[in-house]
């Protein structure tokens, strides 16, 4: 049976973890910025995860991320359940189709190709029918 922990010892143990959350937030931010530039690589999901990491590590960094002009709005829209603009949905679906199309020939096994097409179709289904359209 482990020894009981007092609130002060739990606080001391959690303290070293906070910088790791902040570091993870910066890594996820970097992936998000790459996703804003590279077609076929999503950016929003990384920023949402970065904001969650910053919230656990240091709320000041979360506030910084949410204050960024484009990125902050994407994260706030996701958190509030507003969804994606129709144009972004189109771009995302086209990028998925192009990425699957270009990479399909590199998969040597038919079952892998079928699986990859199904993954792409599921992504397009999810974006078009499950994610709300922001007007």
Contact between residue 77 and residue 83 where contact means Cβ atoms under 8 Å apart: yes
Strand partners, 2: none
In terms of Cα–Cα distance, which of 83, 65, 79, 71 is closest to 37? 71
Q: In the numeric block, which tokens belong to residue 29?
A: 């931010």
pTM, full prediction: 0.63
Instruction: Write the CB contacts of 77 (distance below 8 Å, at least 6 apart in sequence).
Output: 83, 84, 134
68 secondary structure, DSSP code: S
In the chain, where are the structural domains located?
A: 1-82, 83-135
**pLDDT digits 0-9 by tens, 44-81:** 888 989 999 999 999 999 999 999 988 898 889 888 88
Instruction: Write the CB contacts of 74 (distance below 8 Å, at least 6 apart in sequence).
Output: 43, 44, 47, 48
What is the reported pLDDT for 86?
84
What is the reported pLDDT for 132?
87
Position 7 confidence tier, pLDDT thresholds 50, 70, 90: low
Half-sphere exposure of 116 (CA within 13 A, CB side): 18
Rounded to an integer, the average pLDDT of 85-93 is 83
């Amino acid at each position: 049976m482990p020894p009981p922990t007092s609130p002060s010892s739990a606080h001391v143990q959690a303290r070293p973890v906070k910088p790791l959350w902040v570091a993870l937030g910066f890594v996820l931010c970097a992936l998000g910025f790459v996703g804003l530039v590279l077609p076929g690589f999503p950016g929003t999901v990384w920023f949402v995860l970065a904001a969650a990491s910053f919230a656990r590590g240091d709320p000041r960094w979360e506030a910084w991320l949410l204050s960024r002009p484009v990125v902050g709005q994407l994260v706030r829209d996701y958190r509030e359940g507003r969804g994606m603009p129709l144009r972004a949905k189109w771009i995302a679906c086209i990028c998925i189709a192009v990425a699957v199309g270009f990479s399909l020939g590199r998969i040597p096994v038919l079952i892998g190709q079928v699986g990859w097409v199904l993954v792409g179709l599921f992504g397009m289904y999810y974006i078009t029918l499950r994610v709300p359209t922001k007007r």
